Structure 1
Amino acid sequence: MTKLNHVPFLIIGGGIGGLAAALSIAETGRSVHVLEQAPEFGEIGAGLQLGPNAMAVLDKFGLLDVISEYAVYPKRLVIMDALSGQELTTLNLGQAFRERYGYPYAVMHRTDLHLVLLNACKENNQITLLTNKTVTSVQDQETQALVTCADESSYLAEAVIGADGLWSKTRKLLIDDEPVCSQYVAYRGTIPISEVNSHAQMDDVIAWIGPDLHLVQYPVRRKELYNQVVVFKSYEYQKELEATENWGTTEELDERFSQCCPNVLNAVSYIQRHRRWPLYDREPINNWTVGRISLLGDSAHPMLQYLAQGACQAMEDAVTLGEQLTLHNNDIEKAFSTYQEERIARTAKVQQNARKFGDMLHTGDEVTTLLRNKLFEQRKSDDYSPVDWLYGQYAPVIP
C-alpha cells in the first residue's frame, strides 16, 4: 500500500546542487526533505574548481572555515600547449584577484565538497535526508505537487525542486529534450602526491591544450592528492554507438595523446582507466517551472566543464531560490517565477560560453590556433576583464 507523506518542501536529488538548495530553503525557516535514489548520499568523480562566485555562496552558508580544511588555493590558472610544452597564458589568483571578487579561487575533491554540504544538512533540524528513493513520477496538482517513488512511498509537497541532474526525470514535465553528446570523453582520477613527477606545479591549476584534447592538473585535499583529467574528442564516435563503450576507449586515449610533450605523456600514464565519462550538455531552455515544481542545477542547465562552473552555477541557483522564497514568503509560484527570471539568462550564457571556450581550446585549425595564441600572449596575467562576467556575481565592486 502506498504511503502518503505530507511535507512542506521536497528536493529530488542529493548531489551538490540538491544539498545546497536544502540549506538555502532551510534558512528561510521552511522544513525540507531531500530524496536520494542511492543507498547513501555521496559523490563520484575527482576534483572540482570553485570560482569566487561559488566561494561567496559557501560563505553565505557559513562554510568557508570548514571548506578551508580540505581546499587548496592555487596561485595561478595556467594554459600550456600540450604539444610543444610552451606556456600560453596565465591568470593570477593572488591578492588582486581576491580583492576584485571578494573571495579566493579554490580547488578541492568533489567528495569533500559534498561531505561538507551533507554534514551541514545533517546538523540542520529543518532538513530530512532520505535514501533509496527512486522517483518514478512527479505531478503538479496546482496548489501542491505529488512525487511517487519506486518503494511505493509518495510525497505531497507544497513545492518540489528537481535537482536530479543531467538525466533529470523532473525536466521531462517541461520539455521532451535529450542531452547533447559532445563526442568528447573524460578519464579522471587522483594519485598520491608522492607519485607526482617533479614537473608538477603544486601551486597552479594547469590546463594542457591541443587539437581536440586537453589535460587538467591540480592538487586537492590539502595537497595530499593530485587531480588529473584527460579529455579528448573521439574519432570513433557514431550516434548508434553512443550508448555503448565502443568509442572514446583507452586505446584511443593513448593514440590521441601520443604526439604530446613528455610532461603530458607522463601524466597520461598515471590516468585511471577503469571508468570513462562521456561529456554531455543540453540546449538552454526559457522555462524551468510548472506550477509548484521547478528545476535547479544540471536538471535545469547542464553544461560542459570547460569553464569549471557546473557546481558553481548550481550553488548560485540555490542562493537565488532561497532569496526569492524569503522575498515572496508563501507565494511559491511567484518565488519560482522570479527565481528563474534571475537565473535563466546567466546560466544560458555560461552554457553557451562553455561550448565556445571548449571549441577555442581544442581548435585544430592552424590560423585559429595562431590567432588564439597571439591573444593569449598579449594579455597580462592580472587582466581580469574577460572573466568579470563569470566571477563577479557577488563581487563588492568591480573597478
Structure 2
Amino acid sequence: MRKVLIAGGGIGGLSAALACARAGAEVALFERHAEFSEFGAGIQLSPNVVKILYGWGLQEALAEVAAFPDRLQVRSASSGAVLGSLRLGEAMARRYGAPYLTIHRADLHKLLLAALQQQGAAALNLNRSVINFEQTETDVALQLAQDQTERGDLLVGADGGWSRIRRQLLADGTPQPTGHLAYRALISQARLPVHLRSSQVTAWLGPQMHVVQYPVRGGEALNVVAIVQGQVQGDMSHWDHSGNAAELQQRMQAACKTLHDLIQAVPDWRLWALSIRPPMRRGREQADGRVALLGDAAHPMVPYLAQGAGMAIEDAAVLARVLEEGGWFADTPDADVAARVPALLRQYAQQRWRRNARVQATAIRNGKIFHASGLLALARNAAMKIRGEGLMDQPWLYRGI
C-alpha cells in the first residue's frame, strides 16, 4: 500500500487524509496539538464543495449539523436597504447539483474526523510537531519532535498559513497583514430578539467595513463576522487578539438600527487580523518534488468569496483523483511507483494553482467592492439593483472541479 504523510489536522489535512484513504492509500497524519480541534465559528460551503463532501458519503451527516439557507441577501450597512439577493436552497441545488450550506467549522471538522476514523486506513498522530522533511529519489522523510522520523512516498503540507512545510519547500516568507480585522461571534438564536433571528445569509456593506451573518448548527445559532479596516500589534499568526464588544460597537456607530441592534446583542467577540499571500503565480507554489501543499499552506486568502475551506477540500479531492487516475495505487513494482510521484504531483499543481489564484484574486477584489465609499459605492449599489442574481452568482466557481 502506498503511504501518504500529512502535516496538519485541520479541515484541509483531514480532507486530504479522507480522500487519499478512500482512494486506497495508507495515511499517516501528524497534528501538533494534543487533540483534534478547530478554531473559529461558521463557514459557508457552496455547491462546488458540497458535491465533493456528498461524494465522500457525508450527505446524511451534513444534514444533521448544517443549515441550508434559502437566500443570500446584500444590504446597505448605513440605510438597511436591500441592494440585491441570490436564491440559494432548491434553486442553487437545481443549477449546480448540490445545495449551498452553512456550518460551524468545528462541526465540519468533527464530521470529517469521524468519517476518517470509520475509513480505518489512517494513523492519526496527536501531539506530534513537524520539524522538517527530507526528500530522496525514492521517498520523503518527515522529521518530528523528539527525534522521531516517519517515511512515506509523498508529503502533504496542510499545516496552515504559517506552514513549516512551505517555509522549507519554498523559503518565500510569511503571509502579510491585509489591514483588515475580523471580529467573529457565535450566538444562540434563542437569545436574540425575534427581529434579529435569521435563516438566510446576509451581507451588510459599508465604507471600510462589512458584516456577514448566517445560521449554523441547523439554524440554532447565528454566526456573525464583522470585518473592519485597521491594524493590531503582536503575533499576527495568533487567532485571538482579545477583541471586545465595546470596540466593535464604537466602530459600528454609523450602522442602521437593525445592524446596530445585532452588534449590540452579541456579548463576546474574537478578533483575528487577516493575513494572506498574493494570488498564486506558478504551479511550484502548490507542489514540488514529493511534497504537495494544500489549503492555507498553499493559498491563504481573504474570506470575501467564502472559499478558504472550500479550496482546501477541492485540493484534497484533486490530489487523490490525480494519484488514482495516474495508477499510483495500482499493484506495480515499487521503483515504478517511486519514479511517478513527482510527475503526479506536478499534475496536481497544474490542475489547482490557476483556479486557486482566481479565487484569491476575486476575493481581494470583492473586499474592495464590499468596503467601497463615495462614487464607487453608488456604482456598486446601482449595478446590484440592475443585474441582481446575474452579478452575485458565480457559475465558474459553483460548477466545481
The alignment's TM-score, normalised by the length of structure 2, stands at 0.91
Q: Match of 1:36, as an amino acid? A: E
Name whichever of 144-153 and 14-23 sits farther off.
144-153
State whether structure 2 residue 59 is matched by structure 1 residue 81: no
Alignment partner of 1:101 is 2:101: no
- Code of the aligned partner of 2:260: L
Among 286, 306, 315, which residue is 1:317 paired with? 315
Q: 1:160 matched to which residue of 2? A: 155
1:250 Cα deviation from its structure 2 partner = 5.5
Which residue is 1:297 aligned to?
295
1:13 maps to: 8
Residues 388-399 of structure 1: pairs in structure 2 closer than 5 A: 388-394=395-401
Output the CA distance in 2 between the equivalents of 1:133 and 1:139. Answer: 17
Alignment size in residue pairs: 385
Verify: 1:334 aligned to 2:343, yes or no: yes
Residue 238 and residue 186 in structure 1: after superposition, are their counterparts in 2 closer, same or farther (change >3 A)? closer
Q: Which consecutive unaligned segments of at least 5 residues does structure 2 have?
A: 329-336
2:356 alignment partner in structure 1: 347
**What is the aligned partner in structure 2 of residue 379 from structure 1?**
387
Q: Check conservation: 2:288, 2:345, Cα contact below 8 A.
A: no
Using a 3 Å threshold, how does the CA distance of structure 1 residues 243 and 47 change in structure 2: closer, same or farther?
A: closer
Structure 1 distance, partners of 2:229, 2:195, is 26
2:333 maps to what in 1?
none
Please say which of residues 340-349 and 166-175 is displaced more in the overlay.
Answer: 166-175
Q: Structure 1 CA distance, aligned partners of 2:250 and 2:235? A: 20
Decide whether aligned partners of structure 1 residues 242 and 36 sit closer, same or farther in structure 2, where only a CA change above 3 A counts: closer
The yes-or-no answer on 1:177 pairing with 2:173 is yes
SS in 2 for 1:305: coil
Higher helix share: 2
Candidates 223, 226, 234, aligned match of 1:227? 223
3-state SS of paired residue (1:166): coil
Deviation string, structure 1 residues 13-47 (Cα, Å, up to 9, x no partner):
00111111011111221100110111111101111
1:196 CA displacement: 1.7
Q: What is the distance in 1 between the residues matched to 2:315 and 2:170? A: 18
Report deviation, 1:184.
1.0
**Is 1:215 equivalent to 2:215 in the alignment?**
no
Shift of 1:238: 7.5
Query: CA contact under 8 A between 2:205 and 2:370: conserved in structure 1?
Result: yes
Other-structure match for 1:186: 182
Q: Which amino acid aligns with 1:22?
A: A
Q: Which residue of 1 aligns with 2:115?
A: 120
- Alpha-carbon deviation of 1:177? 2.4
Helix, strand or coil at the partner of 2:146: coil
Contact 2:21–2:121 under 8 Å retained in 1: yes
1:222-281 CA distance string (max 9 Å, x none)? 1111111111111xx388996899997755422221111111111112335453111111
With 267-276 and 96-105 compared, the bigger mean Cα shift is at 267-276
Closer, same or farther: CA 192–385 of 1 in aligned 2, 3 Å: closer
RMSD: 2.2
> Deviation at 1:386?
4.3
Q: For 1:199 and 1:320, how far apart are their aligned partners in 2?
A: 43
Deviation at 1:151, TM superposition (A): 2.8
Is the CA contact (8 Å cut-off) linking 2:49 and 2:313 kept in structure 1?
yes
What TM-score results when the alignment is normalised by the length of structure 1?
A: 0.91
The residue number in structure 1 matching 2:39 is 44
| Cα shift at 1:152 | 2.3
Q: Which residue of 2 aligns with 1:397?
A: none
How many angstroms does 1:296 deviate by?
A: 0.6
* Amino acid corresponding to residue 266 of structure 2 in structure 1: I
What SS does the aligned partner of 1:307 have?
Answer: coil
Quote the Cα distance in structure 1 between the aligned partners of 2:154 and 2:69: 40
